[in-house]
Amino acid sequence: MLGKIILNYEIKSLIGEGGMGAVYFAQHVHVNRKVAIKALLPQFLKNQEIRTRFKNEASMMAPLKHPNIVSMLDYHEDESGMYLIMELVEGKGLDDYISQETGPMPEDKAIPIIRQILEAFSYAHSQKVVHRDIKPGNILITSTGNVKILDFGIARIIGDGVQNLTKTGTQMGTVFYMSPEQVQGKRVDHLSDIYSLGVTFYQMFTGLNPYRSLTTEFEVYSKIVNEPLPNPQEIYPGVPDYMVGILDKALKKDTAERFQSCEEFLKAINSKGKGLSVPPVNPPPVLRKSLSKNNAPKIVIGIILFLLFLAGLSYCNNRDRDGDGVKDSKDECPKSYGSKACNGCPDRDNDGVKDIEDRCPDEAQGDAGFDGCPDNDGDKVLDKDDKCPEEEGPRTNSGCPYVDSDNDGIYDKDDDCPERSGPKENAGCPWPDSDNDGVYDKDDNCKYAYGPSWNNGCPYKTSKVLKVTNNTGKIIDVCIMYYDGSKWISKGYYSTGAYGNKEITVKTTQNKIWYAAQNSNGTYWSNPTKRKYCVSSGDAFTYTVGSETNCPRQWTFSEIDFSKDVNYITFE
């Protein structure tokens, strides 16, 4: 794809790649405009359902015009692929922003971001668009703190089912951020987006996704449908009290109990949760019974049991059942011998990726970014999927570098003439030159006749012969001139007898000459292309500029173009 031109935008580099599409950085070939181009991966071009979803994304994004939503500039589809031309935003995904820069966000940093996000989705919902895949990775934060929402790939229009490509019983979205109704495959509306926003904001304030420790989709689905999320202050005590109540309402399992719109959600943020109840943080039980002498033995026994409990707790916190040197209290796999680097979990190939998360647990030198599988050439194509594991190449070419056999800067896959060098404008083929005169046919006015470039590829003669036919009964006077590139030059004044013929030889290499004629009655003939000149004597003339005073006679001059095989004048 690199070097390919789509609607005047040349693809410069790969930004990233997802399950069905790749996003490229591109620049306009004539003006300094930079864009992002999302392209459907080639292997999906014959899948009609995926093609329809891709086009659906274009239909969803086209009408959305909001400062916090990435704009779609154009859409293009041809035999080579399907492309979305979008606004280029330089920023960082909210997930990376949290993990790499902020950790749990303080209130003064989180609230401005949340306001922008809610305003963007309030607008989208007002346009009847439901996103259905809200997650931190689809929210960009720029260096100035501005928010941009992207990836409407599985969005749908609320209403009569138009643009709804999801069948009942099918989940669409990223599992950690799905609403209960999404998990159950029910029809969703904007209230599902509000739940996903609640999970996203929960992660912003705590620094962690609440389902991070679960290892199967079944466990995540079960938690989403059946169990409320823990109070966020249990994960990070710095979460503001009022946000606990707001998040609790946004994350209600019953859609009727959630915020009913992003406007209501935003109003609660701005009022700091006024009127919302705050769930307790697991308060300890309170002993209310008064003590008596009869209770003393029970108290002693209770104290002993409590001390035994503390001793047992200390033992449990310090024991190491699998003997791997990681205490059970910190061991994520307390019954399996593991490594400290993987928090006590096994890592057979010592690549720093737990075996339970490692797609290639027996292959050393794996990459954590690729679930423990190796990528020796660093081209982001796993070696097991890479046909050229020792050479860097794009995923779209199975990890192999593209070939340019004729070294014309156009890869063979995009080159109509891979063995002959040619420009991009002609799909890699050389421009044809039928008469081998060094002037390409596209610029050659005489492509089958040898001629110099300064004469537009046409042959030329040092003189031109103009044939004049007079079919009238009058004598006709003809004046001839041409323009040499800097000035007008007279080539004489000729008379043609009644019912006579005359050949006028004009010595010039120019293809165009000009003539004026009149008969003895003072009448002149001309064609639509005319210039007016003043005749100063019987055999010479000069070009009239500005005022026409002191001009004894005025004639209208017409053009004859020898390059168009016009070399005669007939007077009737």
What pLDDT digit, counting tens, does each position of 373-411 carry?
Answer: 777 777 777 777 777 887 888 877 777 888 888 888 888
Let me know if residue 375 belongs to a domain.
Answer: no
pLDDT at 287 > cutoff 70: no
Helix (H) / strand (E) containing 358: none
CA separation, residue 205 to residues 185, 263, 390 (Å): 29, 21, 43
pLDDT at 48 > cutoff 80: yes
* Paired sense of beta strands 530-535 and 553-561, if any: antiparallel
User: 3-state class of 60 per DSSP?
Assistant: helix
Specify burial of residue 510 (Cβ count, 10 A radius: 0-12, 13-18, 19+).
Answer: middle
Same-domain pairing of 193 and 225: yes
- Give the mean pLDDT of 272-294: 55
- Give the mean pLDDT of 171-184: 78
Active site residue 133: yes
The fraction of the chain above a pLDDT of 90, given in percent, is: 29
69 Cβ contact list (under 8 Å, min separation 6): 61, 120, 123, 124, 148, 149, 150
Q: How far apart are CA 99 and CA 120, in angstroms?
A: 23
Same-domain pairing of 69 and 115: no
Q: How far apart are CA 203 and CA 105, in angstroms?
A: 9
Same-domain pairing of 54 and 161: no
pTM listed for this prediction: 0.49
The pLDDT, as a whole number, for residue 348 is 73
Which residues are paired to 334 by β-bridges? Answer: none
Chain center to CA of 168 = 30
Same-domain pairing of 97 and 195: yes
Helix (H) / strand (E) containing 112: helix 107-126
| CATH number for 173 | 1.10.510.10
Let me know if residue 252 belongs to a domain.
Answer: yes
Let me know if residue 299 belongs to a domain.
Answer: no
Structure tokens that stand for 447 in this block: 């492509």
Helix (H) / strand (E) containing 302: helix 296-318
Same-domain pairing of 147 and 254: yes
562 pLDDT band, cuts 50/70/90, is: confident
Residues in the chain: 572
Radius of gyration, CA atoms only, the chain: 41
CA separation, residue 514 to residues 156, 170, 504 (Å): 68, 78, 12
The fraction of the chain above a pLDDT of 70, given in percent, is: 78
Same-domain pairing of 63 and 180: no
pLDDT at 156 > cutoff 70: no
Question: How many domains does the structure of the chain reveal?
Answer: 5
The pLDDT, as a whole number, for residue 251 is 96
- Give the mean pLDDT of 5-25: 89
First-residue to last-residue Cα distance in the chain: 64
The pLDDT, as a whole number, for residue 369 is 55
The pLDDT, as a whole number, for residue 317 is 57
Q: What is the mean pLDDT of the chain?
A: 79
- Give the mean pLDDT of 93-120: 94
- Give the mean pLDDT of 473-491: 77
pLDDT at 366 > cutoff 50: yes
Specify burial of residue 282 (Cβ count, 10 A radius: 0-12, 13-18, 19+).
Answer: exposed
CA separation, residue 17 to residues 7, 22, 51, 569 (Å): 21, 4, 17, 69
Residue of 168, 174, 166 whose CA lies nearest to 193 = 174
Same-domain pairing of 81 and 101: no
554 Cβ contact list (under 8 Å, min separation 6): 532, 533, 534, 535, 544, 548
pLDDT at 267 > cutoff 60: yes
Q: How far apart are CA 464 and CA 343, in angstroms?
A: 94
The pLDDT, as a whole number, for residue 292 is 46
538 pLDDT band, cuts 50/70/90, is: very low
CA separation, residue 423 to residues 161, 403, 414, 427, 439 (Å): 47, 16, 12, 7, 15
Q: How far apart are CA 89 and CA 375, in angstroms?
A: 29
Same-domain pairing of 423 and 448: no
Which residue is catalytic, options 108, 133, 254, 367?
133
pLDDT at 217 > cutoff 60: yes
537 pLDDT band, cuts 50/70/90, is: very low
The pLDDT, as a whole number, for residue 558 is 80
Let me know if residue 334 belongs to a domain.
Answer: no
Domain boundary among 87, 110, 143: 87
Which range marks the domain in which residue 422 is found?
A: 403-430
pLDDT at 53 > cutoff 90: no
